[in-house]
Each structure stands twice: as C-alpha cells, then as structure tokens.
Amino acid sequence: MGKLFRLFFKRSNWALPYVIFLVIFVVLPLLLVILYAFQDAEGNFTLQNFVHFVNQPEVTHTFVYSVIIAVITTAICLLLGYPAAYIMSRMQSKSAVIVIMLFILPMWINMLIRTMATVTLFDFMQMPLGQGALIFGMVYNYLPFMIYPIYNTLQKMDHSLIEAAQDLGATPRQVFSRVIFPLSMPGVVSGIMMVLLPTISTFALAEMLTLNKIRLFGTIIQENINNTMWNYGAALSLIMLVIIGLTSIFTYRDKHDDINDAGLI
Amino acid sequence: MVKSNYIIELTNISKSFGDKVVLDDVSLSVKKGEFITILGPSGCGKTTLLRLLAGFNTASEGEIRIGGEVMTDIPPHKRPVNTVFQRYALFPNYNVFDNIAFGLKLRGVERKQIESRVKRALKMVGMTDYEHRDVNSLSGGQQQRVAIARAIVNQPQVLLLDEPLAALDLKMRKDMQMELKEMHRSLGITFVYVTHDQEEALTLSDTIVVMSEGKIQQIGTPTDIYNEPCNSFVADFIGESNILNAIMVRDRLVRLMGKEFECVDEGFGQETPVDVVIRPEDIYIISQTSSAMFTGTVRSCTFKGVHYEMFVDTPDGYEIMIQDYNPFEVGQQVGMIVKPSDIHVMRKERICNTFEGVMVDPTHVEMLGGKFECAPVQEVQAGEKVCVEIDFGSVELTDDAEDGTVEGSIRFILYKGDRYHLTVRTEEGDNIYVDTHDVWEDLDEVGIKIAPQNIRIKPLK
C-alpha cells in the first residue's frame, strides 16, 4: 500500500499517461510510415516507391504545384495579416480584443463547414470555382494564424524603442523599416510556419473549392491510401514530412541562434 | 529677432491626459550649457515635462522654444535634442556599433566619419573596443553607457536624461554620477536631467527645479534649495528637516515651541503664522540644560555611519530630529542651541482651508461635492454662493470612508514636530488640509467630517 502510494505521488510518474499516449499515437505511427515507405506490398525491403515518385512527372509536378500554392497563400496572408496586426497593436487594448475576437470567431466553426459555405458563396456570386477559389479559401482559413503571432510580438514590443528611434531622427517610415519590422521577425517567422506547413498538405479544401479539378499533393497521398496503395502513400507522406521537417529545422535554428546571442556570449 | 541666451524656453505649459492635469502652467528657461535637474516625487509631472521637450507628447497649452525656435508641434525626429531613456531602450537587433551609429546613418553621415565618431563616443563613456558586442550581453551599467554614447554622438544642443541611473545599484550610480558630471563639462552641451533622488540632484546640478503636483515649487542652485527652501514641501523633500508651526512676533524674532528665538528673517509682519525649518545638523545638543535655548529628553539614538540621529521630546510635546557626531543616552536630559541664521522662516501658503460653497438652506452648505451641516446663517439666501473657512484642526477624518460627509484620499503628509499636516484630496479633486495627531498612511482612503460649529461662512468677496 505504502509503496503504491509513493509511486503515485512521485512527480515524474504523472508524465506516464502522456508518454503512453505519445508512443501509441505519434511515435508508433511515424515508425510505421517509415517502415511502409521502404517496403513493397509483400513486405520486402525496396526503394522502388521513391524511384516511382521521381519517375512519375505528374506526381512531381503536383508536388511542386502544391508548394507554389502554399507559398502564394502564405505570401497573401503575410501581406494582409501584417498591416492588420500592426493596426491592432496600435489600438487601445479593449478595442483590440474585440477585433481579435472577430478574426478568431470563424475558427469556432469547423473548417469543412466554413469551406462549404465558401463554395455556396462563390456559387451565389456566380464566380467559378478553381485555383482562385482555392487560394481565397486557404487565405480565409489560415489568415488568423498569421495575424495572431505577429500581433503578439508587435504588442509586446517596448514602446520606448520606437521613441528612441524617433528621438535619433528616424521618420515614421524609417522607424518601421529599421526598428519595428526587424523586431517583429520572430512573429513573422512563426506566422509563416503556421500557414505554410498545413497548406502544403491540404487536400479537403482543394477537393471542395475546385470540384476536384485541381489535385494537390495531399490529394494524391489520400487517393493512394484510399486505394490501398499503402506503401507508395507512406513514401509520399515521408517525402512531405522530410520537407516540412527541414523547413522547421531551418527556421528553428535561426531562432535558436538569436536566443544564444541574447543569453550566452 | 533678439537671440536670447536661453537654449530652452517653456512658457505657460499645461498638459492634461483626459481629465487629469499633469502639468499646470509651467514656465521655465534654461541657459545654454547648464546642467538642470527636474526633481520631484513620482507623479509630479517631471517625466511628462521631459517628454514634451523630446516631442513624444505635445503640450495642451503653451509654447516650447529650443535654440530660439518654436518647437511646440515639431515631431521628435526634427528636434535638436537626444534622450537617454531610463530603461536604456537599446535596439536589440543591432550591436553596440550600429546602435550608436543609428542617428548618424539616418542623417547620411559619411562611413569613415561615422566610424571615428562612434569610436570617440565609446571612448568618452569608457567602452572602447565594445563595438561588436551584442547589446543584450552587456550589464546594466554598460548598456546605459552605450545609451549615453548613442545620444551624445549626434552632438545634440540639449541632452535629455530620464532617470538614467535609477535602474543601477548604488555603487555604480555614484560612479556614473561623477562620469556624467565630467561628460557635461567636456561636452559643453545643456543637460536636462529628471530624477526623484534629491541627493543625486544636489550632487549633479547647476540648477534644480523642484516640482510637485504638476507645478514648479522652486528653482535655484543646490545650496539655495537646501538652505532657503521656499515652502514646507521643498524643505521636506530635500534633505532631512524639522518643520514647525511658528509665529513671527516681529522682524528677527520668532516664537516656536512656546519660546522666542532670534532669527535673521524680516518682512513677515507682526504676529504672523509662519513655518520654520531647522535642519537636524544645525541643532547643537549639549548635556547641560541650564545654558540651553530649549531642553528635552532623548527618545532614540541611532548610528548612521558618519553621525548619530537622535529624536528628542521637548516638554511641550514636540519631537525634534537632531544629527550629531556624539551619541547621547536614551532617557538623558539634554539642552539644545540653534544659531539665529539656522532658523529658516517660510511664509505659510495658507492659514486655514478656504472653499467656495453654495447655501442650500440656512443650516446647510454644499461644497467639496457634499452637503455639510453648519451653524444657522442669517442674511444669506438659499442658492447664494459663499466663502467657507475651516481651520486645519477642526477637520475630522474617519477610518471608514463612508462615514464621512465626503470621501477623500491622503496625498501628502508633513510632520510638524507635534502634529501631522495632511493634504487630503477629495473625490471632486479639491485639496483639504488637516492637522491631526493620528498617524495616517499615504493614499489611505478616508471620510471627511466637519462639526457644524467649525464651519465659518462668509459672504463671497
């Protein structure tokens, strides 16, 4: 009894449920994806899946196209989101909260339902679905993820830095380009990550907003897995994972350097 | 236009944020090359004054001239001044060199010249060879040095310093004070320095401006301000002091603590109530009581490093602070002597509370945002405006704010040796002055009551 009691109250044991959860739902599936990607249908080791990807121009093109669409979406989100975040950071905190709420409010509704509404809206306005509708839908869905981190860094910025720049002779435009924008970079980077990464792997939005006319990389993975082409689907997933992983590592390393500079040297 | 030798001229400057008046009709002229310190407790408006000079805020009323030119509405980047901020405000995305070169680059100064000027500025603040360091890796003192270098490298006409040493530890602060003074001498530019530390102000300045409640209380040299404070606020704020109520009997004779003392002040009239300041180091304390000017019993004696600080109770119930190199035992009977020139007489700002009120009916007057009962008044009609007088001693304060006729909070406490003189701000924003023996704390919420017979009603002049 006493032993069990002690076991329960040892702080480190409280992490156990989470560890079990992570192993079952994150680590094992990831290992399975890697395992499947290097196997053929009979379970023998092979690199054929990857060769197949490179030799199928249709799939590689889709991959490049998906990345381009994701980059365009991210760029539009940044162009729309930065000014919004900047304006909100300048507002009195009470009214800023209301505006942020208005931006976040649509996210309380499921993304698929929102997208169905977008489709209806396009129909109502007699606008064709397709690439334009796809980019519109993705920007609409992911804009809050861009605004919020940028707003956060801008809002936390020490106002005396802006005053110091003015004091040293900077015009309002120079204050922005030399102080405010460089200092908001951490927010911009996390905003880009939050938008770029999920948009690369989107498939449901593409299906609905283009009536399945445009296929994204996510769509191809989904089709393969639906058609029980487990191994090829796993290989494509792995390729995407590696790309996303590399992007994250690069951005993370940049930030990490900043932290090092700030604290250690 | 006649070019004046004043570098800064403020005329009738007022500034309010919403309803709150932060600066109330401030006028100030600063000579070229002067080290001027604006001194006051927090919330007195000193930082706002500096921000008006820098251009971060604009004055609600009045005119600001810098270097002879009107700057009232000129944005900060076009003013010939630079600021050293309290929390340094260095740009974390630039290294030391780029921080200091920031202003020069904006003005398009040549690369080579920038380099030599930055080097010179760094040398001036004792930070040679720190150019390539990250600003976040520097200590507080080093960051403040860089901040000073960043400001002086632009060769401004005026350097504004907003409590630049407040965030540093005592030892570092003392060193930096000396360096700032040296820097002021060698640069020859005007320094406007804001602080709440009276010792710092006395050490550094050519001129001190004492501020309180958005108004300038006194302008003068450090010795003037210390030796000749113009009112009890200044006397209390600068250094330690005994402030006592007294009566000026006639020229050169003042009555305090029930005894008459010779002094050197004249021109106050006869039998006039005044405030008297005696610095604790100006009172001689001796063990004989026969030859003393007044006597008392030592209540406490504390060693303060250089001197002993003693509190002596006099037979009339006054408490006097004395600083002396020799300690006296607690409980000992002692005698005190003060030189006539060390008794400093100040005109009282007021001898009783005076308000404007409106009669509601013959036994009630409305003032300070409340309805007070008063002794019946004839020959005044209801609705008529009247002048109301209340002695300091007849205002009663209650612990529970709701027990009072009106509510208020304590804003300033002045110890007068035998009583406290409080400034209480009512909810309507009026000040009522109260004499009391009870101990209250700053910002205590209190109720204000006045007995009907103590309210004197006079026709409005």
Q: Nearest by CB to A167, from B83, B87, B136: name it.
A: B83
Contact A166 B77 (CB under 8 A): yes
Q: Domain B6-232: which topology? A: Rossmann fold (3.40.50)
| ipTM score of complex | 0.79
- Could you tell me which of B376, B422, B46, B9 has the C-alpha nearest to residue B210? B46
B134 lies within 8 A of chain A by CB: yes
Give A206-258 pLDDT, tens digit per residue: 888 888 888 888 888 888 888 888 899 999 999 988 888 887 787 766 554 44
Q: Which CATH class is domain B240-347?
A: mainly beta
State the total domains in chain A: 1
Gap between the Cα atoms of B182 and B176, Å rounded: 10
Whole-number pLDDT of residue A127: 87
B144 lies within 8 A of chain A by CB: no
Structure tokens at A128: 């064709």
Give B91-107 pLDDT, tens digit per residue: 999 999 999 999 999 99
Query: Which of A221-235, B188-202, B214-228, B307-321 shows the lowest per-residue confidence on average (mean pLDDT)?
Result: A221-235
Whole-number pLDDT of residue A253: 60
Residue A23 within any structural domain of the chain: no
Contact A158 B103 (CB under 8 A): no
- CATH number of the domain to which A240 belongs: 1.10.3720.10
Contacts of A171 in chain B (CB under 8 A): 77
Summarize the confidence of residues B333-346 as an average pLDDT: 93
Q: In this model, does residue B263 exceed pLDDT 60?
A: yes
Contacts of A160 in chain B (CB under 8 A): 85, 87, 89
Structure tokens at A224: 């393969």
- Chain A: closest CA distance from residue B92 (Å): 8
Contact A163 B103 (CB under 8 A): no
Q: Nearest by CB to B77, from A158, A169, A178: name it.
A: A169
Q: Where are the domains of chain B?
A: 6-232, 240-347, 353-459
Q: What is the CATH number of domain B353-459?
A: 2.40.50.140
Q: Nearest by CB to A167, from B82, B107, B136: name it.
A: B82
Whole-number pLDDT of residue A93: 80
Summarize the confidence of residues B328-338 as an average pLDDT: 93
Gap between the Cα atoms of B183 and B161, Å rounded: 13
Quote the domain boundaries for residue A140: 61-251
- Chain B: closest CA distance from residue A44 (Å): 54
Gap between the Cα atoms of B359 and B369, Å rounded: 13
Residue A220 within any structural domain of the chain: yes
Contact A169 B85 (CB under 8 A): no
Whole-number pLDDT of residue B3: 57
Instruction: Tell me, yes or no, if the two domains B6-232 and B353-459 fold the same way.
Output: no
Give B13-71 pLDDT, tens digit per residue: 999 998 888 999 999 999 999 999 999 998 899 999 999 999 999 999 999 999 989 99
Give B340-367 pLDDT, tens digit per residue: 999 999 988 888 899 888 988 888 899 8
B81 lies within 8 A of chain A by CB: yes
Taken as a whole, chain A contains a residue count of 265
Residue A46 within any structural domain of the chain: no
Gap between the Cα atoms of B457 and B441, Å rounded: 31
- Chain A: closest CA distance from residue B182 (Å): 23
Gap between the Cα atoms of B328 and B302, Å rounded: 10
Contact B85 A158 (CB under 8 A): no
pLDDT band at B460 (very low <50, low <70, confident <90, very high): confident
Whole-number pLDDT of residue A262: 29
Let me know: does A259 contact A189? Beta carbons within 8 Å: no
- Chain B: closest CA distance from residue A232 (Å): 46
Residue A228 within any structural domain of the chain: yes
Give the chain B residue whose CA is nearest to the CA of A159.
Answer: B89
Per-residue pLDDT of chain A (265 residues), as tens digits, is 577 777 777 777 888 889 999 999 999 999 999 999 998 888 888 888 888 888 888 888 988 999 899 999 999 999 999 999 999 998 888 888 888 888 888 888 888 898 899 899 999 998 888 889 999 999 999 999 999 999 999 998 999 999 999 999 999 999 999 999 999 998 998 899 889 888 888 888 888 888 888 888 888 888 888 888 889 999 999 998 888 888 778 776 655 444 333 222 2
Residue A175 within any structural domain of the chain: yes
pTM recorded for the entire structure:
0.79
